[in-house]
Amino acid sequence: MATSRRRPGGEPRKMRHLAGLKRRREFQRELDARVRTASDGQPVVMLTLGLNDLRGDIRVAFGTAAGDAVMGELATRLTGLDRLGWRVTRIDEGVFAALAPASGAGPDDPVTRLISVLTDPAKAGQDIRVQLAASVGVASWSAGPASGPALLRGARSAMHTANSGHWSWALYDASARDQAGDRSGPAAELRVAELRVAIAAGQLEVHYQPIVDLRTGQAVSVEALVRMRHPVRGLVPPAEFIDLAERYGLISAVTTVVLDTVAEQAHAWARAGRSLPCAVNLSVVCLVDPAYCERLVTTLAALTGLVTVEVTESAMADERAITVLRRLAAAGVECQIDDFGTGYSCLASLKGLPATVVKIDRAFIADIETDVRDLAIVKAILNLANELGLNVIAEGIETQPVVDLLLAAGVVRGQGYWFARPMPAADLDAWLDSRPVATENRGPAPSTGTAKDTTQVLLDGARALLRVDSVEQAVGVLMRAVSDLGGATVPAMRCPADAIPIDVSLGEADPLLPVAPVGSPARHDLERLLPRLVEDARTAADRATRLARLTDQVDTDPLTGLGNRRGLARVRKLHDADSIAMVDLDHFKQVNDTYGHAEGDRILVAFSRAMRQHLRSSDLVFRLGGEEFLLIMPATTPEGVLKALENLRRRWHSERMHPVTFSAGVTAVEAGDLSTAVLSADIALYAAKQAGRDRFELASRPGQPELAVEVLST
């Protein structure tokens, strides 16, 4: 079906990729037939797809081969649709028409399918992936007078309506002769497609809501909130798509867009001398995604002092998420608990969480004037937070009386429509400029936004540096100090000319320079105090590095480079799926006695190397002493270990320079108990030695008579 009956020879190269598509005339015939038989139950749905000079753009950017590669991949995807019952043809340079399968339920499904097929970036060559930009026109037809060409024209005209240069789509309802986007709230699949388009086409926007000091009305920080700019529906609030993004695996893409935007904005504010830490909401889904969280930690660590993170209480329930939050905290990234009080959190878990701020959910703030119970809850949260050394921010403040009540209760920071709605960065700048300058004293120092007392910053920094055990942490302390002194850090690549020329990255990453407006007290403090703190941090980092190396040396057998008994003590918890083997070289004393200890050492080194070379990289090998080795093979059955040992024996015998053999006792780990497993393996090893050496034995299983050894090899 998908292949044309004859492959035309001598066609221009660009056509060859599309040879698998329907020929235009065939397509036209099928379209006409389908239009004639269309009914309410069997609408005809047809799409046109315009690629905005895709080929030319790619060719200019990456070369002809890349352009051809993308067109080839596109053709493969379109012919793939053909196999699913679609009819696809090329109707013009860069324009394709697709007739949905007869069973299509409505216009939503085909457009979703087409977009999901085409929004995946296409491969243009080694390490080059390009996003295909396109506009899609959709025309549907159920009954009444029409013709195939009319439908095609409808779809094309819808495509032109949609054509904004990026991914976008528009509907053409042939039956109603009405061109309009879907305003009735599209189905979930379509909304997912919309979101994919929005991510790819840069239609996500970040708005910022100021968090203010309730006493002065001054902004102390902002919260970044994502919005989707839909070509037809306008600004879509996050409630309509975040949940979908989490369920359909798009949340990390959304988070990346938000973080990139926020990073740029935060740097811009820093350059403009605004000290405005920006809180970014992180989904638990992102935190528990092992691949994404690494990237997240790296990105956020570079934004210390500029960006803080907000997580909901549900993050507290997940150990993996807490681990990531701890790493962020160690890198100096502040964590806030969002919507506090609405989840299922256990209050006790608050103390274990690396958070510094609790945000009281709007549910308790909205009726605080009328409902004394809400006020009681707020006061209770505040007490708890004070005891735990956490700061509190009230969300959803909408009236002045609420502000007064909160202040009376002791809450000093909050956000809500009473102060400002979330708004684009440019509007926020205007809003900030319109605020009167604060004249009151600052009161107790909040943890972000305003500068701390310089002596306190130095003391805090010195104290924190005593505790660091990695360069990363030392950098975190420096970033925190810069932020506490009222400055910000900017990568040297983007630094303004008046950045303070002192690198606070300690050579651990690309250089980071502090910035603060020339002549400001913050700059004065930074210039005076920072160089010294940087050197202290460097000393602390050097000490940590030396200590780490020393630990490695202590844990490593100097002869073979394998872990020793001390190293074994640092092994992570074992699982029941793991197995171990005790391995021992046979008659090794004779080798030493006959050839001397130097030769014995050489054999030990060669055997260690063979083990490392011929076992998996995830397997752990330790030299426990003399010629005795312990092998830990994660997620492997004892039988698997036997196979690996057999392989090792074959290799060792083919490479060996001495007739030295080895024996092993193998056992599975039970209940994560290494010492018992070592004991069993040792008994099995003893049995192997007794049975004549150069053999491997499985330890007896629990419940079986002791030492009923199974001889597997000789």
Partner 1 sequence: MSLPLADMLLLDLATPDRRSAAAQCATLIRNGMALDQLVDEGLAPAMTQVGSLWQTAVWTVVDEHTATAVAEAGLSAAAAECNAPRMHGEVVLACAEGDWHSLPARMVAEVLVTHGWPVRFLGASHPTDILVDHLVRHRPDAVLLSCAVPMALPALMRAVQAIRALELPVYVGGRALGNGPRRARALGADGWATNAAGAVELLTRRPRHTPTHDVTARLDAYRAGQSLLSGWADDATGALASLMPVVDDYSPEKRDRTRADLAHLLDMACVTLLLDDPTLLAEQCDWLNDVLAARCVPPDAVTHGLTALLGTSPPTAPAPSVTAALHRARQHLAGQSQDRPVSPSGATVADDVRARSRRARSSIESSSNDGVGPD
Helix (H, G, I), strand (E, B) or coil at 282: coil
Q: Could you tell me how many residues make up the chain?
A: 714
List phi, psi (to 5°) of 118. -100, -15
Residues 484-543 that bind partner 1 (CB under 8 A): 492-493, 495, 497, 500-503, 505-508, 510-511, 513, 527-529, 531-532, 534-535, 538-539, 541-542
Q: Residue 139 burial by CB count (10 A; 0-12/13-18/19+): exposed, middle or buried? A: buried
Q: Which is nearer to partner 1, 53 or 510 (CB)?
A: 510
List phi, psi (to 5°) of 231. -60, -30
Q: Which is nearer to partner 1, 263 or 664 (CB)?
A: 263
Neighbours of 510 (CB within 10 A): 11
224 in Cβ contact with 218 (< 8 Å): no
Residues 23-62 that bind partner 1 (CB under 8 A): none
Q: What is the DSSP string of 70-124?
A: HHHHHHHHHHHHHHTT-EEEEEETTEEEEEPPTT--SSHHHHHHHHHHHSSPEEE
Q: Which is nearer to partner 1, 38 or 504 (CB)?
A: 504
Beta-bridge mates of residue 36: none
Q: Which is nearer to partner 1, 61 or 272 (CB)?
A: 61
Residue 678 vs residues 569, 581, 708: alpha-carbon distances, Å: 13, 8, 17
Q: Choose among 445, 419, 418, 413: nearest CA to 432.
A: 419
Q: Residue 209 burial by CB count (10 A; 0-12/13-18/19+): exposed, middle or buried? A: buried
Residues 453-482 that bind partner 1 (CB under 8 A): none
632 in Cβ contact with 687 (< 8 Å): no
Query: In whole angstroms, how close is the CB of 501 to partner 1 at the nearest point?
Result: 4
Helix (H, G, I), strand (E, B) or coil at 476: helix
Query: In whole angstroms, how close is the CB of 507 to partner 1 at the nearest point?
Result: 4
* Residue 549 contacts partner 1 per CB under 8 A: yes
Q: Which is nearer to partner 1, 43 or 511 (CB)?
A: 511
Site string for partner 1, 345-364 (x = CB under 8 A): --------------------
Query: In whole angstroms, how close is the CB of 551 to partner 1 at the nearest point?
Result: 14
Number of residues that bind partner 1 (CB under 8 A): 29
Q: Which is nearer to partner 1, 239 or 493 (CB)?
A: 493
Structure tokens at 65: 């081969």
Query: In whole angstroms, how close is the CB of 504 to partner 1 at the nearest point?
Result: 10
Residues 92-121 that bind partner 1 (CB under 8 A): none
Residues 77, 115: Cα–Cα separation, whole Å: 11
Q: What is the DSSP string of 130-192?
A: EPPPEEEEEEEE-SSS--HHHHHHHHHHHHHHH-SSSSEEEEEETTTTEE----S---HHHHH
Query: In whole angstroms, how close is the CB of 676 to partner 1 at the nearest point?
Result: 41
Query: In whole angstroms, how close is the CB of 487 to partner 1 at the nearest point?
Result: 15
Neighbours of 690 (CB within 10 A): 12
Angle, CA of 75, 77 and 82, to the nearest 5°: 90
Helix (H, G, I), strand (E, B) or coil at 219: strand
Query: In whole angstroms, how close is the CB of 540 to partner 1 at the nearest point?
Result: 12
Query: In whole angstroms, how close is the CB of 62 to partner 1 at the nearest point?
Result: 15
Query: In whole angstroms, how close is the CB of 218 to partner 1 at the nearest point?
Result: 31
Query: In whole angstroms, how close is the CB of 532 to partner 1 at the nearest point?
Result: 5
Q: Which is nearer to partner 1, 450 or 520 (CB)?
A: 520
Q: Which is nearer to partner 1, 270 or 285 (CB)?
A: 270
Tokens 């609030």: give the residue: 237
Query: In whole angstroms, how close is the CB of 534 to partner 1 at the nearest point?
Result: 6
List phi, psi (to 5°) of 697. -125, 145
Q: Which is nearer to partner 1, 539 or 704 (CB)?
A: 539
Beta-bridge mates of residue 236: 228
Q: Which is nearer to partner 1, 244 or 529 (CB)?
A: 529
Helix (H, G, I), strand (E, B) or coil at 330: helix
Q: Which is nearer to partner 1, 309 or 478 (CB)?
A: 478
Residues 33, 99: Cα–Cα separation, whole Å: 12
Query: In whole angstroms, how close is the CB of 498 to partner 1 at the nearest point?
Result: 11
Q: Which is nearer to partner 1, 243 or 498 (CB)?
A: 498
* Residue 546 contacts partner 1 per CB under 8 A: yes
Residues 267-286 that bind partner 1 (CB under 8 A): none
Query: In whole angstroms, how close is the CB of 125 to partner 1 at the nearest point?
Result: 20
75 in Cβ contact with 55 (< 8 Å): no
Query: In whole angstroms, how close is the CB of 130 to partner 1 at the nearest point?
Result: 19
Q: Which is nearer to partner 1, 223 or 525 (CB)?
A: 525
Residues 198, 603: Cα–Cα separation, whole Å: 63
Q: Which is nearer to partner 1, 294 or 576 (CB)?
A: 294
Structure tokens at 454: 């310089």
Q: Which is nearer to partner 1, 507 or 521 (CB)?
A: 507
Q: Which is nearer to partner 1, 268 or 529 (CB)?
A: 529
Residues 243, 554: Cα–Cα separation, whole Å: 50
Q: Which ranges of 510-616 would DSSP assign to H, the alpha helix?
A: 521-555, 565-569, 588-595, 597-614
Query: In whole angstroms, how close is the CB of 457 to partner 1 at the nearest point?
Result: 14
* Residue 552 contacts partner 1 per CB under 8 A: no
List phi, psi (to 5°) of 670. -120, 135
Angle, CA of 341, 347 and 348, to the nearest 5°: 165
105 in Cβ contact with 33 (< 8 Å): no
Site string for partner 1, 242-271 (x = CB under 8 A): ------------------------------
Q: Choose among 528, 515, 490, 595: nearest CA to 264.
A: 490
Query: In whole angstroms, how close is the CB of 528 to partner 1 at the nearest point?
Result: 5
Positions in the binding site for partner 1 (CB under 8 A): 492-493, 495, 497, 500-503, 505-508, 510-511, 513, 527-529, 531-532, 534-535, 538-539, 541-542, 545-546, 549
